[in-house]
Each structure stands twice: as structure tokens, then as C-alpha cells.
């Protein structure tokens, strides 16, 4: 009787575990991705965008409208050349990134079309906002990007933001202003955020 009972218990144990083979192993493997994956080709193309943006910011500091137009055109081309096919992430993340990138060339065209430096700066402010959002969406990990702001960048006291490769305050909204305003704007700027995303470790 004892042998029969033991045999029955053994069979029951085997049947229960056979009905869910590899459950624990499968649970361990089905971990959602918490980070996106970018290739070196994507990072190089994105770094080119940032380089052209930083040059544009420098042109605004000098107030050279001819240089601003030339550099803005280069920025537009580099944005169009971002290697999104090398950006591996959830579909919704990729679509959001592409949408943000597609809006920037239109704003650059608006910047180049404006007749006054003041209006060009307002377009630059909008470009900055979209590029800042794009960096956060793709979690660019090629370098640290600093998000700066001047609370009184415009005559109506509207704030103006810009991105920088360093913590040094170099206000692009200063260029071309009246002499009476230059000293005030040159000191205007604060660090709002620093974007530093760690590259994912491949398994």
C-alpha cells in the first residue's frame, strides 16, 4: 500500500512539472528592454548634428547673420542625415524621435527666412527645444550635453535656452544686442540640466 501511494505521488509530481516546462527559465528571459541600443554609426551622425548646432550657437554670439544662414543650412542637412536605421528601440520611441527630427529642418528654414536677428534667435530657441527633446528620446550617449537658459533673453523678458558641450556660459542671445544690453546678457545664463546617458552593455 505504501509503495502504491509513493508511486502515485511520484506520477502526480512529474505531471505537474511537465505541464509547464521551462517556466522559470522563460520568466528569467522575458525581461523588457529598459534602454535603447544605438550603433557607432548612429552616434557619429548625431554627433555631427550637435557639432553644427554648437557652431550655430557660436555664430549667434558673434551676430554674423551670413554665417548663421550658412551654418543653419549645414545643421539642417546633418539632421536629415541622422542614421535612424541604426537606432534600435521600441517602435513608439523611434517614431517619436523621427518626428522630432523631421520638425527641425522646417524651423531652420524659418530661421533662415527671418529678416531680423531677433526673430532668428526666436527660431533658434525653438530648434533648441526640439533638439533637447530629441536627445532625451534617443538617450544620446556620445557626450554630456548641458542645457542652459537665460531668463531675459528677449526684449519681452521671454527666456531663451541653448545647448552646450561645456558648463561655460556663452550666451547666443547676446550677439547683435544694443551696447547697453550686452553686459547684462553676457552674464545671463544658468545650467538647467545635464544630459548624460550611459551606453547599454551588450550581452
Instruction: Please spell the DSSP secondary structure of 164-181, one letter per residue.
Output: ESSSS---TTSTT--HHH
Whether 122 is in a domain gets the answer: yes
Mean pLDDT, all residues of the chain: 82
4 falls within a domain: no
Q: Report yes or no on 7 lying in a domain.
A: no
- Interior/surface letters 143-180, b for 16+ CB within 10 angstroms, e for the rest: eebbbbbbeebeeeeeebbbbbeeeebbbbbbbbbeee
The full length of the chain comes to 203
What beta strand segments (E) does 2-96 contain? 37-38, 87-88
How far apart CA 157 and CA 132 sit, in angstroms, is 22
pLDDT at residue 155, as a whole number: 86
Q: What total number of domains does the chain contain?
A: 1
| Mean predicted confidence (pLDDT) in 147-165 | 94
Residue 16 in any domain: the answer is no
The answer to whether residue 20 sits within a structural domain is no
Residue 64 within any structural domain of the chain: yes
Q: What is the CATH number of the domain that holds 71?
A: 1.20.120
- The answer to whether 135 and 195 have CB atoms below 8 angstroms apart is yes
> Does residue 2 form part of some domain?
no
Structure confidence at residue 37 (pLDDT): 72
Q: Residue 27 falls within a domain, yes or no?
A: no
Confidence of residue 44 (pLDDT cuts 50, 70, 90): very high
44 lies in which domain range?
37-195
Q: In this predicted model, what pLDDT tens digit does every residue of 81-135 receive, in sequence order?
A: 999 999 999 999 999 999 999 999 999 999 999 999 999 999 999 999 999 999 9
- pLDDT, position 203: 41
Q: Is the pLDDT of residue 179 over 50?
A: no
Amino acid at each position: 500500500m505504501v509503495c502504491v501511494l509513493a508511486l502515485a505521488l511520484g506520477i502526480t509530481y512529474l505531471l505537474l512539472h511537465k505541464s509547464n516546462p521551462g517556466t522559470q527559465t522563460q520568466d528569467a528571459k522575458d525581461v523588457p528592454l529598459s534602454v535603447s541600443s544605438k550603433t557607432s554609426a548612429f552616434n557619429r551622425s548625431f554627433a555631427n548634428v550637435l557639432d553644427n548646432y554648437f557652431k550655430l550657437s557660436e555664430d549667434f554670439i558673434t551676430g554674423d547673420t551670413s554665417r548663421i544662414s550658412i551654418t543653419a543650412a549645414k545643421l539642417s542637412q546633418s539632421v536629415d542625415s541622422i542614421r535612424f536605421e541604426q537606432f534600435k528601440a521600441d517602435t513608439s520611441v523611434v517614431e517619436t524621435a523621427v518626428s522630432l527630427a523631421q520638425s527641425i529642418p522646417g524651423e531652420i528654414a524659418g530661421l533662415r527666412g527671418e529678416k531680423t536677428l531677433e526673430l532668428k534667435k526666436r527660431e533658434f530657441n525653438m530648434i533648441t527645444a526640439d533638439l533637447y527633446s530629441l536627445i532625451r528620446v534617443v538617450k544620446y550617449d556620445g557626450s554630456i550635453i548641458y542645457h542652459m537658459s537665460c531668463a531675459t533673453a528677449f526684449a519681452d523678458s521671454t527666456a531663451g535656452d541653448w545647448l552646450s558641450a561645456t558648463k561655460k556660459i556663452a550666451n547666443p542671445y547676446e550677439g547683435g544686442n544694443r551696447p547697453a544690453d550686452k553686459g547684462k546678457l553676457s552674464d545671463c545664463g544658468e545650467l538647467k540640466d545635464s544630459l548624460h546617458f550611459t551606453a547599454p552593455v551588450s550581452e
